[in-house]
Amino acid sequence: MERRDTERRDTESRDTERFDVVVLGGGSAGEWIATNLPSRSVAVVESNRVGGECPFVACIPSKALLHSARTRSVVSRAHEQGAVSTRLELGDPGAAWAAAARRRDRTTSSGDDAAAADNLRGLGVSLFRGTGRVTGPGRVQVTRPGGAVTELSCRDLVVATGSKPMLPPIEGLADVPTWTSDSALVSPEIPRSLAVLGGGPVGCELAQVYATFGAKVTLLEMAPRLLSAEEPLLGEAMERILSASGVTVLTGTKVTSATPCAAGARLATEDGREHEVARVLAATGRKPAAEGLGLELLGIDVGGKGLRTDRHCRVESATGVWAAGDVTGVAPLTHVANYQGRIVAANLSGRPLEADYRAIPRVVYTDPPVAAVGLTAAAARDRHVHAGTASMDLSQTARSFTDGAPPGALQLVADMDRGVLVGAAAWGPGADEWINEATLAIRGQVMLDVLEDVIHPFPTYSEVYEQPLRDLAVRWRDD
């Protein structure tokens, strides 16, 4: 028996590649972790692209298209407001879309991850192209394209496999021309008409992009308002923003079935109406990609809400297993994935670090953008916080007047017992940038009497903070 065990260990030693850390998934979280462990031997297993969704079919292409759409809109508004004296010809929408698509493809390197892969290897990271599956504690099997199998062993395993689009359970949807956001963001063509299913951030952004370049867009959302997880003022503002871009917004509308038709797809809704469009875009969310990895062998629950982690990003109920990014279900945002990657890398390097999710900024990059951070007033009250709110219209700032800017607003939520901000909601020009003042204040738990004493440069949109902060500080002192 002893001799056979020795032979088995010798065979394992020859056939298994050993690392300190194996990372399943080379997206933003996995890439961050792998490149920030200089003293550890690291392997990354990736079946698709190094860098994940964000650089190729999500954040970067969507923001590139939104930039082109915004430029087109700004030129039009500048002429209407008399900011330019000569008439500016915007040209054919189809040609404009083709130019925007070419620019998008340049920003994404047309989906080529060679540079990202070379960067990993240049930093000493071993990259395994293929599908990884856990076969036991500290063991991962990689099936490469073509079927070859490689065995890896590790002290620590990091799960950073991201998420995948969810298609809504609509009868017949698989039988009609349907995009997910991933496919919509790499399309070389623009459909004549488009039904966007879902009024969350992705649905709103893509609805505006396609409408700006000439598609007839209808957005259908089951909830009573867009951006239903945010403050009501943001959902109401987003409906006005999209309507101004030519999008037909239908809230409180449930699609019950889809059937092929001459135009492309016929959608029936619960209220008895029908909508014929050339294509459907399903933007109804994503789910953590935790299934099929063999994690059950480690006693890990891979339920649909993501892997449960502690404050150090260790997977609960498992030893030596960590998770970061969308697979955790905390928030499907690249900056959260990068943050969690930083937490994991610090802990793996022997520097204990805990995640703090109180101040996660959330942005919809429409024109103008919508942004939020922390808790809504309703969520604060659900947590038994003595919440107070104060707000101000952006039109009351001098910068809004000088720029002839579109409308906007800021609402702040404070814990009136502790005297600190716990949430903020903003929309208007540059809101994706000036929301960061609230982000820092919430994360740092800066007292209201300090915040009201901050001096903002004149004239800037950030002056919109001054009156709401004074109002909250006065009420806090009076309580």
Shared domain for 188 and 121, answered yes or no, is no
Shared domain for 389 and 456, answered yes or no, is yes
Bridge-based pairing of strands 149-159 and 16-24 is parallel
Among 348, 380, 395, residue at a domain's last position: 348
Task: Give me the domain span that covers residue 43.
Answer: 8-52+113-164+287-348
**What does pLDDT average to in each consecutive run of 10 residues of the chain (479 residues)?**
37 72 97 95 96 90 91 68 57 87 92 93 96 97 94 98 94 97 92 98 97 97 97 98 98 98 97 97 94 96 91 95 97 97 97 97 97 98 97 96 93 98 98 98 98 97 98 95
Provide the number of structural domains found in the chain. 3
Q: What is the largest CA-CA distance in the chain?
A: 92
The tens digit of pLDDT for each residue in 67-99 reads 999 888 766 665 555 555 555 556 788 889 999
| Positive/negative CA dihedral, 436, 442, 445, 447 | positive
CATH code (residue 324): 3.50.50.60
Shared domain for 464 and 369, answered yes or no, is yes
End-to-end, the C-alpha distance of the chain in Å comes to: 77
Shared domain for 151 and 298, answered yes or no, is yes
Give CA–CA dist 470/479, Å, rounded: 14
The tens digit of pLDDT for each residue in 145-170 reads 999 999 999 999 999 999 999 999 99
Give CA–CA dist 266/260, Å, rounded: 6
The one-letter amino acid at 421: L
Among 319, 348, 377, residue at a domain's last position: 348
Tokens 């109406």 correspond to: 273
Question: 292: which 2 tokens?
Answer: 């099929």
Q: Are 324 and 341 in contact (CB under 8 A)?
A: yes
Shared domain for 407 and 454, answered yes or no, is yes
Tokens 């969690």 correspond to: 340
> What are the b/e assignments for 302-332, b being 16+ CB within 10 Å?
beeebbbbeeebbbeebeebbbbbbbbbbbb
CATH code (residue 450): 3.30.390.30
Q: Are 279 and 161 in contact (CB under 8 A)?
A: no
Give CA–CA dist 327/302, Å, rounded: 10
- DSSP assignment letter at 288: E
